[in-house]
């Protein structure tokens, strides 16, 4: 029996890694295939001729050449979306309610992480840090961001959602939107009072901006930024840990029990409020970590930094099937990938009339299409619960 | 001192006065049946005991300790097991996980495993379905699961809410056999039933609930023979 338990636990760690590998390759291959078909269709078009004239390559070659880089970017942003989407989907799972303040929980994580790095930089320790040291400092910033976001998420639930638990979800939703605006302005207030400006830039330190060469195609080097590797690895570790927590531990099972039937869970001796707080803590921490990673990748953050990633992660959660943890992972990956492809190729293929700035439109159009045909999301529950 | 005692319990849903002074006792080792028509307040009585609903006045005591002001998860810690109305099986947890949730308040892993074995011995069908999701079980299997789960924490008393509801007659017989067997093994049971005939044939004592009040109480056989009960609940 013991041995059996041991193997089950190992499976709980390997399975999500396998899932992630499948989702990443699946989404990547699908997008690449669509792109190559488009490239073939566009041969001889105006876009092709422009490329031949300016860069000396056909549209097919151009697409193929840039494909690896686009895939790497898609995976990186996909993991960030997945980490945020899990916060939405976990809360939805237990309360059937969308925590619209989650985007600001994310922003708080980003700001606290970046502020702690700025403080360390002020002390001069970042500049002197070795490669190993800089990873430790980043780890510290991640922990601070997670603690701040997790704590704030628990506080928000306690103050703004719990008193409304027995009211219609629409009321709690309004409260969430209110909290969202309030937190935005609190961040802005605190930041502008302390330094007179309300945006922050993450200090440059360590070797995060360096690029590691992955492989070469002819004379072309395919490389990946160290920080992208950090983002991907950190996200994978967190997602595996979350999967283990929810799937294999006693509290994880209790959270699932609460999400399915609160009264019965309470009758089994489970403290429902404690489990809901724990859900906000875990979801908030993931959002906070995503915030720090986002800041690392995109360097500049402002109080509204949470809005777009928040909306997209929410969309990713819906795309995957809201309430479903695996779905959030898949949704994040698909949305990240589509966005990356649209950002890279939209301008070239439309000869500049639709630039990369329309990538969000493309991503959301595809989202709408999927939802129309699969209203429960890609991995949403198809069977209703038995009474 | 009775194991479980309700004294003049008044419970409300908002402004609706659902229980109007319910008093009842369950002694250790008994099966006590609480019967009554739809809407008489049977489930409300159980909710008032288990902490899902707090009585506005009166008292509920378990082994002399007042429990009526405690939240449900604390009441459960006092030794009160519950098989809820509609069974309350967690549909997306496996059978084993459902049972583990029944033992949530236990910390001793050996004890949990022992109870799990006991549950599987009592309900071999559940062992066959151990890794299946609760929601995929049939109604009878779900009732077995809910019953086994209620026993997982070694409760002093098991409260059962309509265990026969929605089950085929042959399964009803089976469930009542199980209840009798559980009692023979020493479990005290408070049984809420619409199926008065079945409930009274296995109960030591019974209470008849009508619009939030206990109108009659006697031994099981006497109630079964009582004219009023026969007319109102047994269709005779």
pLDDT band for position A386 (cuts 50, 70, 90): very low
Residue carrying the six token digits 């002694």: B27
Cβ atoms of A275 and A255 closer than 8 Å? yes
* pLDDT at position A184 over 70: yes
Contact B52 A267 (CB under 8 A): yes
Of all residues in chain B, the percent with pLDDT exceeding 70 is 99
Q: How far is CA B108 from the centre of its chain?
A: 25
Q: What is the pLDDT of residue A228?
A: 92
Lowest mean pLDDT among A99-108, A342-351, B15-24, B71-80: A342-351
- Distances from the Cα of B226 to the Cα of A130, A266, B32, angstroms: 89, 38, 17
Contact A386 B86 (CB under 8 A): no
Q: For residue A170, what is the domain's CATH number?
A: 1.10.3470
H helices of chain A, in order, are: 2-41, 46-55, 59-95, 102-122, 125-128, 131-156, 169-195, 226-248, 250-260, 262-267, 272-298, 307-320, 325-349, 359-373
* A304 domain residue, yes or no: yes
- Counts of helices then strands in chain B (DSSP H, E): 10, 10
Q: What is the pLDDT of residue A347?
A: 86
* A364 domain residue, yes or no: yes
- How far is the C-alpha of B209 from the C-alpha of B48, rounded, in Å? 15
- Please give the ipTM for the structure prediction: 0.91
Q: Into how many domains does chain A fold?
A: 1
Q: What is the pLDDT of residue A209?
A: 87
Q: Name the residue among A187, A199, A192 with its Cα closest to residue A300.
A: A199
Q: What is the pLDDT of residue A51?
A: 86
Q: What is the pLDDT of residue A43?
A: 86
Averaged over B132-160, what is the pLDDT? 94
- Distances from the Cα of A285 to the Cα of A254, A289, A302, angstroms: 19, 6, 19
State the count of interchain CB pairs (< 8 A) between A and B. Answer: 72
Contact A257 B93 (CB under 8 A): yes
Q: What is the pLDDT of residue A367?
A: 82
Q: What is the pLDDT of residue A385?
A: 40
| CB atoms closer than 10 angstroms to residue A140 | 14
Q: What is the pLDDT of residue A329?
A: 92
pTM for the model stands at: 0.90
Q: What is the pLDDT of residue B235?
A: 64
A220 backbone dihedrals φ, ψ, rounded to 5° = -90, 130
* A7 domain residue, yes or no: no
Cβ atoms of B191 and B176 closer than 8 Å? no
Contact A268 B51 (CB under 8 A): no
Q: Name the residue among A328, A155, A138, A307 with its Cα closest to residue A242.
A: A328
pLDDT band for position A273 (cuts 50, 70, 90): very high
* A1 domain residue, yes or no: no
Of all residues in chain A, the percent with pLDDT exceeding 70 is 96
Using a CB-CB distance cutoff of 8 angstroms, which residues of chain B are in contact with residue A256? 90, 92-93, 97
Looking at the DSSP assignment, which residues form a beta bridge with residue B210? B213
Averaged over A350-357, what is the pLDDT? 83
* A147 domain residue, yes or no: yes
* A5 domain residue, yes or no: no
Of A254, A272, A387, which has the smallest distance from its Cβ to B101's Cβ? A254
Does residue B219 sit at the A interface (CB-CB below 8 Å)?
no
Q: What is the pLDDT of residue A349?
A: 87
Of A260, A271, A383, which has the smallest distance from its Cβ to B90's Cβ? A260
* A338 domain residue, yes or no: yes
Q: CA of B49: which chain A residue's CA is closest?
A: A267
* pLDDT at position A317 over 60: yes
Averaged over A357-376, what is the pLDDT? 87
- Looking at every residue in chain A, the average pLDDT score rounds to 89
Contact B91 A386 (CB under 8 A): yes
**What SS3 class is residue A380?**
coil
- How far is the C-alpha of A55 from the C-alpha of A53, rounded, in Å? 6
* pLDDT at position B189 over 70: yes
* A276 domain residue, yes or no: yes
Torsion angle of alpha carbons A311, A313, A314, A318, nearest 10°? 130
User: How does pLDDT run across A143-167, given as a tens digit for each residue?
Assistant: 999 999 999 999 999 999 999 998 9
User: How does pLDDT run across A204-233, given as a tens digit for each residue?
Assistant: 888 888 888 888 777 778 888 999 999 999
Q: CA of A260: which chain B residue's CA is closest?
A: B90
Range of the domain at A65: 12-385
pLDDT band for position A8 (cuts 50, 70, 90): low
Cβ atoms of A100 and A295 closer than 8 Å? no
Of A1, A263, A269, which has the smallest distance from its Cβ to B104's Cβ? A269
Q: What is the DSSP string of A92-107?
A: HHHHSS--TTHHHHHH
Averaged over A19-40, what is the pLDDT? 92
Q: What is the pLDDT of residue A5?
A: 47
């Amino acid at each position: 029996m013991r041995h059996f338990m041991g193997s089950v636990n190992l499976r709980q760690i390997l399975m999500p890694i396998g899932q992630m590998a499948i989702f990443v390759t699946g989404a990547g291959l699908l997008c690449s295939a669509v792109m190559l078909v488009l490239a073939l269709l566009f041969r001889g078009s105006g876009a092709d001729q422009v490329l031949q004239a300016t860069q000396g390559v056909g549209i097919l070659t151009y697409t193929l050449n840039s494909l690896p880089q686009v895939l790497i970017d898609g995976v990186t942003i996909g993991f960030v979306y997945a980490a945020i989407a899990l916060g939405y989907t976990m809360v939805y799972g237990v309360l059937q309610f969308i925590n619209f303040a989650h985007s600001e929980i994310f922003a708080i994580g980003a700001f606290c992480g970046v502020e702690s790095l700025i403080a360390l930089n002020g002390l001069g320790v970042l500049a002197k840090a070795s490669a190993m040291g800089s990873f430790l400092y980043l780890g510290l910033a991640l922990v601070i961001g997670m603690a701040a976001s997790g704590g704030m998420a628990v506080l928000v639930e306690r103050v703004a959602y719990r008193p409304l638990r027995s009211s219609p979800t629409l009321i709690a939703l309004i409260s969430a939107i209110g909290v969202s605006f309030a937190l935005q302005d609190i961040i802005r207030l605190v930041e502008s009072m302390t330094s007179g400006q309300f945006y922050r830039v993450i200090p440059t330190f360590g070797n995060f901006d360096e690029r590691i060469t992955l492989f070469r195609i002819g004379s072309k080097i395919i490389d990946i930024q160290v920080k992208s590797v950090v983002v991907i690895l950190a996200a994978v570790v967190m997602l595996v840990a979350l999967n283990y927590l929810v799937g294999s531990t006693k509290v994880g099972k209790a959270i699932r029990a609460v999400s399915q039937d609160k009264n019965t869970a309470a009758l089994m001796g489970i403290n429902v409020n404690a489990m809901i707080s724990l859900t906000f803590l875990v979801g908030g921490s993931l959002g906070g970590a995503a915030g720090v990673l986002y800041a690392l990748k995109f360097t500049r953050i402002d109080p509204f930094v949470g809005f777009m990633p928040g909306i997209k992660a929410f969309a990713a959660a819906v795309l995957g099937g809201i309430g479903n943890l695996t779905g959030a992972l898949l949704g994040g990956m698909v949305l990240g990938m589509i966005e990356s492809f649209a950002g890279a190729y939209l301008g070239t293929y439309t000869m500049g009339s639709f630039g990369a700035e329309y990538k969000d439109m493309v991503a959301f159009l595809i989202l709408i299409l999927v939802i129309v045909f699969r209203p429960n999301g890609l991995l949403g529950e198809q069977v209703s619960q038995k009474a | 001192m009775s194991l479980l005692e309700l004294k003049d319990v008044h419970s409300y849903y908002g402004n609706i006065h659902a229980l109007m002074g319910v008093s009842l006792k369950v002694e250790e080792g008994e099966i006590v049946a609480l019967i009554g028509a739809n809407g008489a307040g049977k489930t409300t009585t159980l909710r008032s005991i288990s902490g899902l609903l707090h009585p506005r006045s009166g008292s509920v005591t378990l082994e002399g300790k007042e429990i009526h002001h405690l939240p449900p998860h604390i009441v459960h810690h006092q030794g009160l097991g519950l098989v809820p109305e509609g069974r309350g099986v967690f549909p997306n947890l496996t059978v084993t996980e459902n049972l583990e949730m029944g033992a949530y308040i236990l910390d001793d892993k050996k004890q949990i495993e022992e109870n799990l074995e006991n549950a599987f011995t009592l309900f071999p069908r559940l062992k066959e379905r151990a890794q299946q999701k609760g929601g995929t079980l049939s109604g009878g299997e779900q009732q077995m699961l809910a019953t086994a789960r209620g026993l997982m924490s070694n409760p002093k008393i098991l409260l059962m809410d309509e265990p026969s509801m929605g089950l085929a007659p042959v399964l009803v017989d089976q469930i009542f056999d199980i209840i009798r067997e559980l009692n023979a093994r020493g479990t005290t049971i408070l049984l809420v039933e619409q199926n008065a005939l079945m409930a009274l044939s296995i109960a030591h004592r019974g209470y008849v609930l009508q619009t939030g009040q206990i109108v009659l109480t006697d031994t099981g056989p006497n109630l079964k023979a009582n004219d009023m009960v026969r007319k109102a609940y047994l269709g005779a």
